[in-house]
Copies of this chain bind each other. A is one copy, B any other.
Amino acid sequence: MTSVQKLPARGRLLAAAEDAFFSRGIRATPVDDVLRAADVSAATLYAHFGSKDGLVAEALRVRLAEWQAVWDQCVVRAGSDLDRLLAVFDALAAYRERQPAARWCAFLAAATELPDAGDEIAGVLAADTELLNERLRHFARPLAGDRAADLADDVVLAYNGTLAAYLRGYPASPIETGRRVAAAAAAAY
């Protein structure tokens, strides 16, 4: 026992859900596993989130907010237009340190595992894509001018490829390779 008091049930549930869903898999994780890890009773989970899907959706929302914050910090630290564009990869490195057991991307995993996901879950995935699209187009502007949308597409594709590389286990250094590819794409504008 540390000196830290036990968090309220809702927070413990979200922490356990993130850990289990995004490293062992959403469908592969029974609700009971989350309950046991969070030391929370079933009734409490359903009182807070309504369903397993509700818990998944909220865990994704939390994740998106944290990812956005980490990315923000990396953008601030960037020293050039190119560094700002490529800061997604620094953010990815920082973000992954917090949960090294994560298989790959929580949002793309959710899209694969829950093809019939409700509007709530689909909405978070759409918000993630929208965030990537909007920000990268903005950062691409000073580098590619009118063709900023194309360069943003290139960087998103390299970002997707980096995430999938964790899933495939190849290339061995996903972030390094992804950053190199994105830099090469930017150099072509």
Contacts of A168 in B (CB 8 A): 108, 111, 125, 129, 160
A92: shortest Cβ distance to chain B, in Å? 13
A159 in complex: contacting residue of B125, B153, B161, B174, CB < 8 Å: B161
Give the number of copies in the complex: 2
Contact between B170 and A162 (Cβ–Cβ < 8 Å)?
no
Interface of A is mostly: helix
> Can you list 19 contacts pairing A with B, beta carbon distance less than 8 Å?
A25-B115, A28-B116, A104-B112, A108-B164, A109-B112, A111-B167, A112-B112, A112-B113, A112-B167, A129-B168, A129-B169, A150-B177, A157-B161, A157-B165, A157-B171, A158-B161, A160-B160, A181-B181, A181-B185
